[in-house]
Amino acid sequence: MPNPATTVAAPRLAQPAAVRGAGLGLRRALLEPLAELKAGAIDFLEIAPENWMQLGGRFGRQFRALTERYPFAAHGLSLSLGGPAPLDESFVLALKRFLDEHGIADYSEHLSYCSDARGQLYDLMPIPHTEEAVAHVAARIRRVQDLLERRIAVENVSTYAAPGQRISELAFINAVIAEADCDLLLDVNNIHVNSINHGYDASAFLDGLPLSRVRYVHIAGHHAEAHDLCIDTHGADVIDPVWALLAQACAKLGPLPTLLERDFNLPPLATLLVEINQIRAVQARHAPAQAATARG
């Protein structure tokens, strides 16, 4: 068996995302403003399916109206891909029914764990970067893909410690994606946050990822606690170094579908649309270069 520390992702390309353009994470506070938004102001929406799967009544009707109007992606919170407890296959099957019902093709999860044998930990915990963890996580991803009948994407996560690390974060991500034969949800804010917290070069890290496997991108703001500590809050405006990482990714791969995450300190929708338009500006700058590369 190859050493995951030296494994690189297979040259296979990512499954093309069903979503396009610039998207926004759906929060309940946005249900009514989005219902009144003019067509074309945003291109797609993303949800944490756990927050919507059992929702009925007024919220359920509002949600259904949006799924009929916009393309959707789903980004999970609770599969605990790196966890020690058995995979909750009944939940995965319920998730499949939900995704099928609403016509959602793109599903992703965090490359982390959030539960143990006693239940949910209610946080995204770092998986030890080891060869054994690569095999464990990849097997669980393959099982999820079999049950969902979908190829999924996993997200590079923000971390504040690296317990039990024996291979680098970069080698770990590459090895999991190659062994699981899944895609990458590229979070450029998490790259910046980890580059501060763990002292590496963000641009070089991005270049080392299996970019041929990128399905789509997350971008967000964070909180700078200290010169060597950033907290991934999704509660602030996106800063220039993170915009630069998005531009770097689009320069290599073209105008990737990109999702603005904002979970806290939620401003008016009009303010969020300013950053949506910044995403579109980055995408537009790199669309001609991508088209020229394809023709060449």
Going from the first residue of the chain to its last (296 residues), give the mean pLDDT of each consecutive group of 10, the final group possibly shorter: 44 89 96 94 97 92 96 94 91 97 97 69 79 96 98 94 90 97 98 96 98 98 91 92 98 96 94 98 82 38
Q: Kindly state whether residue 7 falls inside one of the protein's structural domains.
A: no
Q: Kindly state whether residue 16 falls inside one of the protein's structural domains.
A: no
- Please report the pLDDT score of residue 6 as a whole number: 42
Domain count along the chain: 1
163's torsion region: left (phi>0), alpha (psi -120 to 50) or beta? beta
What tokens appear for 286 in the block?
A: 């790199």
Buried/exposed 235-264: b ≥16 CB within 10 Å, e otherwise? bebbeeebbbbbbbbbebbbbbbbbbbbee
Q: Kindly state whether residue 17 falls inside one of the protein's structural domains.
A: no
User: How far apart are alpha carbons 246 and 176 in whole angstroms?
Assistant: 23
User: How far apart are alpha carbons 151 and 148 in whole angstroms?
Assistant: 8
23 φ, ψ to 5°? -120, 175
Across 112-195, the runs of DSSP E, i.e. the strands, are 113-116, 119-125, 153-155, 183-187
Q: Kindly state whether residue 195 falls inside one of the protein's structural domains.
A: yes
- Please report the pLDDT score of residue 119 as a whole number: 60
CA-wise closest residue to 187 among 242, 106, 114, 230: 242
- Please report the pLDDT score of residue 231 as a whole number: 87
What tokens appear for 207 in the block?
A: 């270049």
Buried/exposed 8-24: b ≥16 CB within 10 Å, e otherwise? ebeeeebbebbbebbbb
Q: How far is CA 137 from CA 133, 233, 274, in A?
A: 6, 25, 38
The neighbouring-strand residues paired with 133 are none
219: Cβ contacts below 8 Å, ≥ 6 apart: 187, 188, 189, 238, 242, 243, 246, 258, 259, 260, 261, 279
Q: Kindly state whether residue 1 falls inside one of the protein's structural domains.
A: no
DSSP state of 127: P
- Please report the pLDDT score of residue 236 as a whole number: 93
Q: At what angle do helices 169-180 and 131-148 cross, to 10 degrees?
A: 40
- Please report the pLDDT score of residue 294 as a whole number: 38
- Structural domain harbouring 127: 22-295
CA dihedral 230, 232, 234, 240 (to 10 degrees): 40
CB neighbour class for 67 (10 Å; exposed up to 12, middle 13-18, buried from 19): middle
Q: Kindly state whether residue 136 falls inside one of the protein's structural domains.
A: yes
Name the pTM for this structure: 0.91
Q: Kindly state whether residue 3 falls inside one of the protein's structural domains.
A: no
| CATH at 220 | 3.20.20.150
Q: Kindly state whether residue 10 falls inside one of the protein's structural domains.
A: no
